[in-house]
Amino acid sequence: MDRGGCQMSGGGGSEQPGMISLEDLQSFSEEPLSDSGNGSPKEEAHVVEEGDDRLLHYWQGVARGHQVEVSQDMAEPIQQLASNNEGRSEREQVPFTLLARKEKCGNVLYEKRQYEKGHWACITMHEDTYEQSICYGFMRLMKYICKQNSLGAYLGMTLPILTVVRTNENHSVMSSNVTVGYFLPNEHQIQPPQPTDSEILIEVWPVTTVYARPFGGPTNEVVIINQINTMAELLDPNGLCINDSFIVAGYTNPAHSNRQNEIWFLERP
């Protein structure tokens, strides 16, 4: 892995059941904001604005619990993400080939997978906490996904959203630098739309072999360090994997209280 960026390195795809869970957001977007055709354009526009504010205020309330501020300019991307995801039961998955699976008593301990070469949009954050870094990074990527790109169009969500974390040698301390990565949908892989945000980089990640272990709940420094050490004990890699850079794969909204996550170890090339 390139420590200065967010590329994976290492060495057809199975479906992963998780998806970005926007249940809380959709609980608002699924409510009718107006009775179609019953109001004037001016009245309907006012109702839409109120809907935008409801969604924004909801995100702001949730984010405060993570010591994160959601600015007013997030109203449009939040509304657009909710509108485009409304009623969808599936999101495009990052394609991979399942190479092996280790189980115990019917529970998956980890999977070995191969991810193909592809384009990712990445941004590296330097906030005080991991929670703040992933939330702010995800919001920056949301703006890119929701029209702040060279096409001026909604690009579509893919799963998982990845965060690259780095630790010291004995896996006890995390670096403050956290990179958030979004896989470009298949239709944009050949010619990726360019971000208007100069800090978002479009990178080509090579074919990569990872060992992935699922875990639920919130993600913070303590949880991630524990997950890294648990996975290290399971693998006993002995030089098999990169030992100072890891990936947290998120299948749910970063602000969601019951997240669906994985910890990934990267096999050395």
Contact 142, 77 (CB under 8 A): yes
Cα–Cα distance between 237 and 111 in angstroms, integer? 14
Crossing angle for the helix pair 75-85 and 41-64, nearest 10 degrees? Answer: 100
DSSP at 25? H
Where the chain has pLDDT below 50, the residues are 1-4, 10-51, 87, 89
Pairing between strand 161-166 and 208-216?
Answer: unpaired
Cα distances (angstroms) measured from residue 246 to each of 2, 143, 177, 179, 239: 12, 26, 12, 11, 14
Domains defined along the chain, listed by start = 23-85 (no CATH), 92-266 (3.20.80.10)
pLDDT value at residue 257: 61
Sign of the C-alpha dihedral computed for residues 54, 135, 186 and 202 taken in this order: positive
Which two structure tokens, joined as six digits, stand for 178? Answer: 């956290």
Cβ contact 92:156 at 8 Å: yes
Helices (H) and strands (E) in the chain, counts: 5, 11
Report the candidate in 176, 132, 161, 144 with the shortest Cα–Cα distance to residue 259: 161
pLDDT of residue 166: 93
Please tell me the pTM assigned to this model: 0.76
Distance of CA 137 to the CA centre of its chain: 9
What's residue 46's pLDDT?
A: 39
Q: Which two tokens stand for residue 90?
A: 């599936």
Three-state DSSP at 53 gives: helix
Q: Looking at residue 122, what is its pLDDT?
A: 97
Alpha-carbon distance of 235 to 264, in angstroms, equals 11
Neighbours of 221 (CB within 10 A): 15
- Cis peptide before 206, with omega less than 30 degrees from 0? no
| pLDDT for 90 | 61
- The predicted pLDDT at position 16 comes to 35
